[in-house]
A = this chain, B = another copy of it.
Amino acid sequence: MNFTERQQQILAYLRQYGSASLQQLMEFTNSSESSIRRDLTELDKQQLIDRFHGGATLNQPLLSEKSLLEKSDESLTEKQEIMKLAAQHIRYGECIYLDAGSTIIHLIPHIVNKNVTVVTNGLMHVPLLMEQNIETVIIGGKVKAKTQAVIGAKAITQFQQYYFDRAFIGANGFSELQGYTTADSEEATLKQLAIKQSKQAYIVADHSKFGLSQFAKFGDLEDAILITSGLTDAQYEQLEKRTEVLRA
Residues of A at under 8 Å CB distance from B? 2-4, 17-19, 50, 52-54, 57, 63-65, 123, 126-127, 129-130, 133, 135-143, 145, 148, 150, 152, 154-155, 158, 161
Contacts and interface: CB of A to CB of B under 8 A. Distances in A.
Contacts of A152: 137
14 contacts: A2-B50, A17-B133, A19-B133, A123-B126, A123-B138, A129-B143, A130-B148, A136-B142, A136-B143, A137-B140, A137-B141, A137-B142, A138-B140, A158-B158
A103 to B, nearest CB: 21
B130 A137 contact: no
Nearest to A136: B143
Nearest to A139: B140
A75 B148 CA distance: 30
Contacts of A138: 123, 138, 140-141, 143, 150
Contacts of A18: 133
Contacts of A139: 140
Given A126-B148, A137-B140, 9 more contacts: A2-B57, A19-B133, A123-B126, A123-B138, A127-B148, A133-B145, A138-B138, A140-B154, A154-B158
As for how many copies of this chain the complex holds, the number is 2
A22 to B, nearest CB: 14
A49 to B, nearest CB: 11
Nearest to A59: B2
Nearest to A135: B142
Contact of A52 (B4, B135, B143): B4
A143 B140 CA distance: 11
Could you say which of A50, A54, A139, A145 has the most chain B C-beta atoms within 10 Å of its C-beta? A145
Given A126-B148, A130-B148, A137 B154 contact: yes
A137 B139 CA distance: 11
Contacts of A155: 140
